[in-house]
Every structure is written in C-alpha cells, then in structure tokens.
Homo-oligomer: A and B are copies of this chain.
C-alpha cells in the first residue's frame, strides 16, 4: 500500500529484466523490444515508481535546477523578475531554488555557497554590493553565473542583464523639460548602489544637454527606508517651494514623495509634477495615476535565465541592456506661467 521507496531495481526485478533495460525504457534511449517496453512501463506504473533525481544527478552531473538570489521577494520588481525566471526555467525544463539576501553580502555568500554545494546548474543573482570574493570562488569552480539589474564593477567577466536606466531617466527629463519645467528635483538613493548612481548621473547629464542648469540643491539622496525617504521629500518641499517637478528614483522614494506632497497639500500635478522610476501596481491606482519609468522586470528575468542556460560557453561579454519605457499617466502637467516664470 505505502511502499517507502521503490527503486529501479524493484522495477527491474518485478518486470524480470535488468536495471539497464528499465533505464533505457524510461529515458527513451537505446533500443528495447516493444513487448519489453510495455511490460516495464506497466510495472513501473503499477509500483508507482518515481525515478530519483538524486541518483540521476549524481551520475549525470546535472541537477536541472538553477539558483535565484534576490534581495527581497516582497519587492514588486523582484517578484516580477522572479516570475520571468520561473517562466523561462519551466520552458527549458529546469526548476528554481530561490533565496533572499536582503542585500547583505554575508547572507548572500552563505546562500551562494549552499547553492554551489547543491550543484545547481547555474545561478542568477541581483548581487549585493561588496562581496566579489564569493562570486569569484564560485565561477572559478565552473558554475555559470548571470547577474541582473545590477552590475558589479569588480566582476566585469560575469554576464549581466540590465535595464536602460540612463535612457529611462533621459526620456523623463526630456518630457518634463518639454512641459516647461526648469526647477526639477531629483530624489535619489544611495550613491553606492550602481543603478542609483546611474540614474542620478543621467539626470544631471540630460539636464545639461538640454541647456537647463542643474541646481545642486534640488538633488537629494535618501536611504530607502520609509521614514528617511519621507523626511527627505518633505524637507525638500519645505525648503524649495519653487520647484515644479520631481523625479523619484525608486518606488519607495515615489511613495514617500506622494505621501509628503499629500501631507503638505501640494496638488499633483497642478502644483507639482511627479515621475517615479519603477512601475508598481499602485502607480496606476494612485490618484492621479502616476507617470513612471517602467523597467521590463519580467523580461529581464526571462532573459537572464535564458542567458544562463543557453550557450553558457559563448558568453556575452558586454551587458545586455533592455529598454525601459516612459509610461505617461496623469501626474505631470505643463508648468503654469505664474510658477514657471522666473
């Protein structure tokens, strides 16, 4: 009734054949007499035989599983990215082992070590800063790795899938300037995070390109905690009531921006145009719906997985950059003459 573990030997014995024959039948390789094949299949079903992936993997040296390391499942971008990885993995017949690093290098190292012991076929990661040693160790043992969303400067040899952060910011700034805005604030994240730095740089650069002088006072940075971001946004609004638009550099900072504006009864977009980088579901639900720069989270996951599993030999040496999209909704308006005037 409840046979603990039925192995290939049991099947072979019950069918009166050798284990090699059973293996051939089940894996479809080699040639087997039709009658034998039927019998083996019948017996296997009868006994509820499930081949053990452990035995197989030990022999074949492939586990059919990929490791995925992200900072946080609850983050909508990470979740969507994960969905993409899962979709691709399924198509390619792999399964996914997931773990979260909370962006702590020590935790990340532990996870990656474990995955290496687990002999995953490869690892996809949004790497935390500051732990190149672990990654070096793991690639040295021949384990394929693909980074996504962030690159690590110390590890240029690891293939990476990125979003076109700079392009996204550029289109935002062009859009806002086109609406007549000149005093545009930028609420950024910590400069140590590559993508944050990229966004800020693109902001300054584009403004300069458009001949709008960059007011350093309008570029502020905040840690992505709720309180810190809120405080940064609120103090910016108090200090510079003359600003007409703001670019929030992450969805957390976007939340803070909207909340702070609401608290100070700044009307969006009448008093203040707002753009958030990263699309999240609530951006559309917000009143008014928020104009955002959307990164193709799902595609990035799919693509990263594909890069990992297909042709791990001929790696892309240059980052694969996927386009971002400026999703125009209703949080930006042309600057009003009275405010926009010098």
Interface residues of A (CB under 8 A from B): 1-5, 48, 50-55, 57-58, 61, 63, 65, 72-74, 76, 79-80, 82-83, 86, 90, 95-100, 113-119, 137, 140-142, 255, 258-259, 262, 280-282, 285-287
Contact = CB atoms under 8 A, between A and B. Distances in A.
Nearest to A57: B54
Contacts of A53: 117-119
A83 B76 contact: no
B74 A140 contact: no
Contact of A98 (B5, B96, B116, B141): B96
Contacts of A137: 48
A113 B50 CA distance: 9
Contact of A83 (B73, B86, B285, B287): B73
* Copies of the polypeptide in the assembly: 2
A305 B96 CA distance: 18
Contact of A95 (B80, B99, B119): B99
A240 to B, nearest CB: 24
Given A2-B141, A74-B76, A259 B285 contact: yes
Contact of A48 (B52, B79, B140): B140
Nearest to A142: B4
A86 B114 contact: no
Given A96-B98, A282-B281, A51 B114 contact: no
Contacts of A141: 2-5, 48, 50
Nearest to A110: B90
A55 B57 CA distance: 9
A76 to B, nearest CB: 7
Contacts of A54: 54, 57-58, 63, 119
Given A98-B96, A116-B50, A86 B58 contact: no
A62 to B, nearest CB: 10
B73 A79 contact: yes
A162 to B, nearest CB: 21
Contacts of A98: 82, 86, 96-98
A54 B4 CA distance: 20
Contact of A117 (B52, B58, B258): B52
Given A2-B142, A95-B97, A98-B98, A117 B281 contact: no
A255 B283 CA distance: 12
B86 A119 contact: no
Most buried by B among A3, A74, A113, A258: A74
6 contacts: A73-B83, A74-B83, A79-B79, A83-B100, A255-B281, A262-B287
A150 to B, nearest CB: 20
A278 to B, nearest CB: 13
Contacts of A51: 117
Nearest to A56: B117
Contacts of A50: 113, 116-117, 141
B95 A96 contact: no
A79 B74 contact: yes
Contacts of A4: 141-142
A48 B98 CA distance: 24
Given A52-B117, A96-B97, A80 B86 contact: no
